[in-house]
């Protein structure tokens, strides 16, 4: 029975947040926005306050993530970031997934920039 409870807890789906809420808590609050897209996608455009940590590197770079702050994961559409959020939640991180990803972020009128802080685009 204990094993089933633990397994169910690890399978729980992390909460989803809207682009507006993600922007608010990562720009002016306690959360960290982690972009799990590939480097080419990141270079084309990302949220100004995001940190880049590709999904394929997540397991080997966990030490870079804060344990004392909420993490919000984001990708292009929300699928890869949902996988990242689940992986982080199973390791005990406080995590949420940005619903709709960077496509929704951009459609909400929130800024998308390149590494040089110029206007970016979502690939």
**Residues noted as catalytic:** 75
- What b/e readout covers 21-36, taking b as 16+ CB neighbours within 10 angstroms? bbbebbeeeebbbbbb
Taking the C-alpha atoms of residue 28 and residue 12, their distance in angstroms, rounded to an integer, is 28
What would the two tokens of residue 78 be?
A: 């929300």
C-alpha span between 30 and 62 (Å, rounded)? 19
Euclidean distance between CA atoms 100 and 118, whole angstroms: 23
How far is Cα 33 from Cα 123, in angstroms, rounded to an integer? 18
């Amino acid at each position: 029975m204990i094993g089933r409870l633990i397994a169910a807890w690890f399978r729980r789906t992390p909460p989803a947040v809207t682009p507006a809420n993600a922007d608010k808590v990562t720009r002016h609050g306690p959360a960290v926005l982690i972009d799990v897209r590939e480097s080419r996608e990141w270079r084309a455009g990302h949220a100004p306050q995001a940190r880049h940590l590709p999904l394929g590197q997540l397991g080997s770079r966990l030490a870079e993530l804060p344990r004392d702050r909420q993490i919000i994961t984001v990708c292009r559409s929300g699928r890869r970031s949902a996988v990242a959020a689940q992986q982080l939640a199973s390791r005990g991180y406080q995590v949420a997934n940005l619903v709709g990803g960077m496509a929704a972020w951009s459609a909400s009128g929130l800024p998308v920039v390149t590494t040089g802080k110029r206007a970016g685009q979502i690939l």
